[in-house]
Amino acid sequence: MAEILIVEDDAPARAVLRETLEFAGYRVREAGDGEEALRQLGEDVADLAIIDLFMPRKEGLETIREARGKFPDLKIIAISGGGNRGELEYLPIAERFGADKVLAKPFEQSTLLGTVEELLASRTTVH
């Protein structure tokens, strides 16, 4: 069973993501910001991380870049609603920083699960 780390500072959004993924059969861990996420990954790397771009302490782009450097096999989905100013142009930047896929909030549960399944399938077929 694959393990997914949700990195999202908004607790209600994190709870919805957790419920969706657990219902689909995944093991889920949570982090409220990039610093906590990188600490958790250093202790036990997950198979996939879902990382929000706008967070306090260590924002998503920096977290993605650092995670990609330290954990090259980690699959990463960057998510964003554009922050306070609605700036979704950060999603393509997240791909340049190492995200495998990006999703603009709000997204359908089926879109999230399809993206997760696609990335985890590519992880298992590469080896």
The pLDDT-based confidence of 7 (bands split at 50, 70, 90) is very high
Rounded Cα distance between 21 and 63, Å, is 21
Mean confidence (pLDDT) of the chain: 92
pLDDT tens per residue across span 8-54: 999 999 999 999 999 999 999 999 999 999 999 999 999 999 999 99
* Per-residue confidence (pLDDT) for residue 124, from 0 to 100: 56
pLDDT for 105 beyond 60:
yes
Kind plus residue range of the DSSP H or E element containing 75: strand 75-80
- In 10 A of CB 85, how many CB atoms? 7
* Per-residue confidence (pLDDT) for residue 85, from 0 to 100: 55
* CATH code linked to domain 3-126: 3.40.50.2300
